[in-house]
Amino acid sequence: MADEATPAAPAPGRDFIRQIVADDLAAGRHRVIVTRFPPEPNGFLHVGHAKSICLNFGVAAETGGQCYLRLDDTNPLKEDQAYVDAIIDCVRWLGFDWGERLTHASDYFERIHDCAVQLIEAGKAYVDSLDADRMREYRGTLTEPGRDSPFRSRSVAENLELFAGMRAGRYADGEHVLRAKIDMASPNINLRDPVLYRIRRATHQRTGDAWCIYPMYDFAHVISDALEGITHSLCTLEFEDHRPLYDWILDQLPGLPARPRQIEFSRLNLAFTVTSKRKLAELVDRRIVAGWDDPRLPTIAGMRRRGYPPAALRDFCQRVGITKKEHLIQMSLLENCVREDLNTTAPRAAAVLRPLKVVLTNYPEGQVEHLTAANHPDRPELGERAVPFGRELWIEQDDFAEVPPPKFHRLKPGGEVRLRYGYIIKCERVVKDADGHVTEVHCTYDPETRSGLPGADRKVKGTIHWVSAAHAVTADVRLYDRLFTVPRPDAGTDGREYREFLNPASLETLTGCRLEPALATAAAGSTWQFERLGYFVADREDHAPGRPVFNRVVTLRDSWARLEEAAPPGA
């Protein structure tokens, strides 16, 4: 499946990682490029992960190589099978295929353990029995070197014995840890005898209670990479300071089948949102959003439910590119990718979100005619449909103004407007309720002006869309706006937490919207352009043919320009 869906090679402007890979192939350092995407199953994937997925699977696909999807499941306290399932689902939806290469760090627990024993035997690891507070004290600070633990000089035999006891469950959580023996005075804190294993009595979603010791990320990750024959271990910049540890572990374990190279690139940061699993989890847990797939979240599941096509996300990741520079990507770039994709793929339809009744007083009661509308303006192969037209119609409230502002070319008292695919109508009078609100607009239509008929080309300034009242389908429509009011909600501005910058108007639900009858059979997950309004998707959870629910994917025009000008990147 992924072969045709995988993005094509970005020929000219090769990024620095693709350059390294190309050089390694040219120099014969590797025959086959092997990469991996290694999420921890402690939350849903977000748009930043999409960048990493596109990079890892992209590099492999472009070079005829292989990419693993590896669940980095070393912390059973925070992980869950539900997250594993969601991750697998999202990577597949994005258009990538790992073939046989779906793995878990836990697949390697036995071998990771053997590597730890090997390090102990070589005098390169020891069991420490300091408690967590003392260990922190001994570690030193950025400006002060650490001190050796009093347990650092334990003999190999004693360490082997203690480590075996840890595995056998003879000690309490926290009583001992296994540490690498590197250098407590290193300026790089990651090299001050980092912890490799800890005791943790927790049931693992895959290995159950087989283990009560679990390897730390830094240890499990490099060994998993080596066991899978990863050639290029691509990760984000925060791991730059861990690379010396990564390389140290490989140096101590020459028996491993491969020697991967770690290369770091900058994280994707997106304006007006947060991309940290911890914060996303908080928004979900506190029910600030409706779930991990809430369409306002930058999670892959959320963007999918919002109606973003996977091709648009891949296009976005490619346009963002791979560098070592941190910067804030504007939401308008993402939305433009979505718009461009949907402009070519989404069929057109008419919908009235805030309806106002129009009565054509000179149109015969009970008469219905069928007007012809193209499903897509530039793609005749998508065909046409018949749109029913009658005496009573719905139009948008803001397509009518009783007291029009200057240059108002839509419907106004005494004025004329063309109904899309239909006739020119003229506003004769308005009907109001007791409070003075306009409830109906009474118009006459000009039978000589039906679109497409010979001689019907009389011109008026405005064209508006409409839905026949007798045939309309009633729907709920959800309009989404940005989740936060500032470009960097997690910047800690004025000592305020990101949750203090939530946009209270991020979701508006309209009920009683009127759709043209062709939308009655819209499938859940299908995306449409509601003409003049934007792109909308039939919600994949809540939409049902008898009870339509649509989400606005994106507006037709960029609505971010004003906001982004007011708050330039870096603000």
Pick 62 or 218: Cβ nearer ligand ATP: 218
Q: Which of 6, 7, 35, 39 binds ligand ATP (CB under 6 A)?
A: 39
Interaction with ligand ATP in 190-249: which residues (CB under 6 A)? 235-236
The maximal CA–CA distance of the chain, rounded, in angstroms, is 102
Q: Does the footprint of ligand ATP cover residue 63 (CB under 6 A)? A: no
Q: Does the footprint of ligand ATP cover residue 52 (CB under 6 A)? A: yes
Q: Quick one: which segment of 44-52, 206-214, 344-352, 436-444 binds ligand ATP (CB under 6 A)?
A: 44-52
The separation between CA 68 and the C-alpha centre of its own chain, rounded to angstroms, equals 20
**Contact (CB, 8 A) for 233 and 84:** no
- Kindly state the number of chain residues that form the binding site for ligand ATP, as judged by CB under 6 A: 15
Burial level of 521, CB count in 10 A (0-12/13-18/19+)? exposed
Binning the chain into helix, strand and coil, the percentages to the nearest 5 are: 30, 25, 45
CA nearest 477: which of 542, 399, 393, 400?
542
278 catalytic? Reply is no
Q: Does the footprint of ligand ATP cover residue 106 (CB under 6 A)? A: no
**Contact (CB, 8 A) for 516 and 467:** yes
Interaction with ligand ATP in 72-101: which residues (CB under 6 A)? none
**Contact (CB, 8 A) for 111 and 227:** yes
The least distance separating ligand ATP from the CB of residue 246, rounded to whole angstroms, comes to: 13
**Contact (CB, 8 A) for 406 and 508:** no
How many residues are recorded in the chain? 571
Q: Give, in order, the Cα–Cα distances in Å from 204 to each of 73, 111, 208, 372, 437.
A: 9, 17, 5, 60, 63
Q: Which of 38, 58, 260, 534 binds ligand ATP (CB under 6 A)?
A: 38
Q: Which of 224, 231, 273, 275 binds ligand ATP (CB under 6 A)?
A: 275
Pick 49 or 306: Cβ nearer ligand ATP: 49
426 catalytic? Reply is no
Q: Give, in order, the Cα–Cα distances in Å from 482 to each of 268, 291, 487.
A: 18, 16, 10
Q: Which of 139, 243, 277, 314 is catalytic?
A: 277
DSSP, residue by residue, 239-276? GGGGHHHHHHHHHH-TTSS---EEEEEPPPEETTS---
The least distance separating ligand ATP from the CB of residue 235, rounded to whole angstroms, comes to: 4
Q: Does the footprint of ligand ATP cover residue 35 (CB under 6 A)? A: no
Q: Give, in order, the Cα–Cα distances in Å from 475 to each of 257, 337, 396, 435.
A: 59, 27, 15, 27
Q: Which of 6, 40, 297, 549 binds ligand ATP (CB under 6 A)?
A: 40
Pick 164 or 237: Cβ nearer ligand ATP: 237
The least distance separating ligand ATP from the CB of residue 257, rounded to whole angstroms, comes to: 21
Q: Does the footprint of ligand ATP cover residue 267 (CB under 6 A)? A: yes
Q: Does the footprint of ligand ATP cover residue 268 (CB under 6 A)? A: yes
The least distance separating ligand ATP from the CB of residue 477, rounded to whole angstroms, comes to: 31
CA pair distance 419, 390, nearest whole angstrom: 12
Half-sphere exposure of 440 (CA within 13 A, CB side): 12
DSSP, residue by residue, 288-310? SSSSTT-TTS-BHHHHHHHT--H
Closest residue to ligand ATP, judged by C-beta, is 48
From residue 296 to residue 335, the character string flagging contacts with ligand ATP as x (rule: CB under 6 A) and all else as - is ----------------------------------------
Q: How far apart are the first and last CA of the chain?
A: 42
Pick 276 or 451: Cβ nearer ligand ATP: 276
Q: Which of 40, 228, 396, 416 is catalytic?
A: 40
What's the token pair of residue 59?
Answer: 């590099």
What's the token pair of residue 568?
Answer: 């330039």
Interaction with ligand ATP in 277-296: which residues (CB under 6 A)? 277-278
The least distance separating ligand ATP from the CB of residue 344, rounded to whole angstroms, comes to: 28
Say which residues have a Cβ less than 8 Å from residue 535's Cβ, sequence separation at least 6: 307, 338, 339, 342, 346, 527, 528, 529, 552, 553, 554, 556
Q: Which of 78, 101, 111, 267 is catalytic?
A: 267
Q: Which of 18, 49, 471, 488 binds ligand ATP (CB under 6 A)?
A: 49
Cβ–Cβ contacts within 10 Å for residue 448, how many? 11
Q: Which of 48, 65, 95, 260 binds ligand ATP (CB under 6 A)?
A: 48
508 catalytic? Reply is no
Q: Quick one: which segment of 33-41, 375-383, 476-484, 489-497 binds ligand ATP (CB under 6 A)?
A: 33-41
- Please identify every residue annotated as catalytic: 40, 267, 277
Which parts of this chain interact with ligand ATP (CB under 6 A)? Answer: 38-40, 48-49, 51-52, 235-236, 267-268, 275-278
